[in-house]
Structure 1
Amino acid sequence: MKDIKLVVADMDGTLLNSKHEVSPRFFDVFKQLKQQNILFVAASGRPYYSISEKLKPLLNDIIIVAENGGLVIEQEQVLISNVIASEHIAELYRLVTSIDNTYPIFCTKHCAYINNASDDLVQTFSEYYSNYILIDSIDEIKDPVVKIALYHPTNSEANIFPLVKHLRPALNVVVSGNHWVDISDAKTNKGNALAYLQNRLKIKPSETMVFGDYNNDLDMLKLATYSYAMENAHPDVKATANFSTSSNDAYGVEVILERLIAESRKY
């Protein structure tokens, strides 16, 4: 661990506990990471404004990979911005609004357009997409779409993914949570975002530590020698990661980072 220069953590199910909170323990650990000159990256399917709110005290010192890699931002400088080609949006709108019991959210850089959802669902979505506009028509979407998030009340992998997986490889389609499937531009994934950062910063996989819990984390886990699956992770993540840690409610990220800091201080 003594060679680690870059730590990357997913948010929901990983750094955030089941109440969607960042622990005070992490903020303490982060100070020590900074003292050891170890860079921290938050990599999430969440939009930039949501990640920023969760990690507000750290914004000047971290890089944010938002929308599964659709946006990469450092100190308000946009390093990567991928959008779904506008000619695909109408066809995708027709497809995703036709899937039973599925609620699409069209995510842009600054806000989310929520289509035909109940008040209760809007309340659920607002945890992730606090800047939102309710719409009834595609004509109301005014900005380039970075990602289409599809929500299913019980299980997205069983009920949504089979109906949209045919969009690959022209588009990236990934199960990002128990309730979520995300559709993005073909080159948008957390792995491509991490590869860009590793190249930009001249950091090797052997100097990289990554934490994840769901299938949208698989690509970035493969780019780190020190890849960790959370105890609560999807089976595919556990099969891909080189190591494991405790759950997001048992400080799985913090425990490993404290070990990393202890190792770093020996040298």
Structure 2
Amino acid sequence: MIKLIVTDLDGTLLTDNHEVPDRFWKIASRLFDKGIKLGIATGRPHFSITEKFQAIVDQLYAISDNGSLIIHEQTELLSKSLPKHEIEALVIAARSVDNAWPILCGRDQWYLENSDEVLMNAVLAYHSNFKIVDDLTKIDEEVLKMTVYDYAGSEQNSYPQFKHFENRLKVVVGGAKWLDITRTDVNKGEAVQILQSLNGISPDETLVFGDFMNDYEMMKTATYSYAMKNANPKLIEAANFVTEKDNNEAGILDVIELLCFNEC
């Protein structure tokens, strides 16, 4: 019996056009009626979750910035920001990578120091809540995550330049063109375990979905761990199951209907 569902957004629940499938809203309502907890776990900021799921955001567990922030019913359950002394080194390292741009992810907005058209188009595909500044190393606001938009491909181009940070920070490929850096004690799996503990829910009662390596730890928290058909091969290896359909075919919704409305 499934009691908790946690899903990634981009490449998982959302289509490649970053749209929520129409069927989702009715399914979410049915889940809430059955008392099943629903979480969104994404590398996106909290304000992006709020914008996408405004009608039901207070019913969701909103896990943003790869697990750096968890909010439920307007109550903050967890917040873990990057150490300030690490940010300057991260920004300087990112500036040296060709075809890549650093972004500091604050609680209320993103900070960029470049208005390159490629970067603008990439960010605007997700939201418009950002500010262009002269120097990212001078930002005083709490920073939950640094992300690097890598036009040349994050796994091959920028990730090797940040490997030396892995002894003290969490560096993960969050998408084909995104690299995410957070604290070492931050990941989506830790966030799922917090929800399980809060609600007395076991891994056998948990269903999770993801598509990229920032979902890796989450795959370890649930008996019903699903990688998307379109997922990174390494994530498919980590998951217990794979969806029959991809994110553009609303693959996770078929699984939810099968497991939660036929058997729950």
Same fold (TM over 0.5): yes
Q: How does 1:24-103 map to 2 (within 5 A)?
A: 24-103=22-101
- The percentage of aligned residue pairs carrying the same residue is 38
Q: How does 1:127-142 map to 2 (within 5 A)?
A: 127-138=125-136, 140-142=138-140
Asked if structure 1 preserves the Cα contact closer than 8 Å seen for 2:104 and 2:112, the reply is yes
In the alignment, which residue of structure 1 is the partner of 2:110?
A: 112
1:143 matched to 2:141: yes
Asked if structure 2 preserves the Cα contact closer than 8 Å seen for 1:8 and 1:209, the reply is yes
Distance 2:167 2:175 in 1: 20
| CA apart distance, 1:115 | 2.0
| CA apart distance, 1:140 | 4.5
Asked if structure 1 preserves the Cα contact closer than 8 Å seen for 2:31 and 2:37, the reply is yes
SS across alignment from 2:55: helix
Deviations 1:97-116 (A, max 9, x none): 12121111000100100121
SS across alignment from 1:11: coil
Q: How does 1:181-260 map to 2 (within 5 A)?
A: 181-245=179-243, 246-260=245-259
SS across alignment from 2:12: helix
| CA apart distance, 1:6 | 0.1
Asked if structure 2 preserves the Cα contact closer than 8 Å seen for 1:32 and 1:261, the reply is no
SS across alignment from 1:60: coil
The residue type equivalent to 2:115 in the other structure is A
In the alignment, which residue of structure 1 is the partner of 2:7?
A: 9
The number of residue pairs the alignment matches comes to 263
In the alignment, which residue of structure 2 is the partner of 1:155?
A: 153
In the alignment, which residue of structure 2 is the partner of 1:261?
A: 260
Asked if structure 2 preserves the Cα contact closer than 8 Å seen for 1:83 and 1:147, the reply is yes
SS across alignment from 1:117: coil
Distance 1:10 1:93 in 2: 26
Distance 1:181 1:139 in 2: 18
| CA apart distance, 1:126 | 2.2
The residue type equivalent to 1:18 in the other structure is D
Runs of 4+ in 1 over 3 A off after TM superposition: none
Length-normalised TM-score, structure 1: 0.95
Asked if structure 2 preserves the Cα contact closer than 8 Å seen for 1:103 and 1:117, the reply is no
Distance 1:135 1:123 in 2: 17
| CA apart distance, 1:36 | 1.3
Residues 127-136 or 224-233, more deviating: 127-136
| CA apart distance, 1:195 | 1.2
Gaps of 5+ in 2: none
Gaps of 5+ in 1: none
Distance 1:227 1:39 in 2: 16
Residues 241-250 or 121-130, more deviating: 121-130
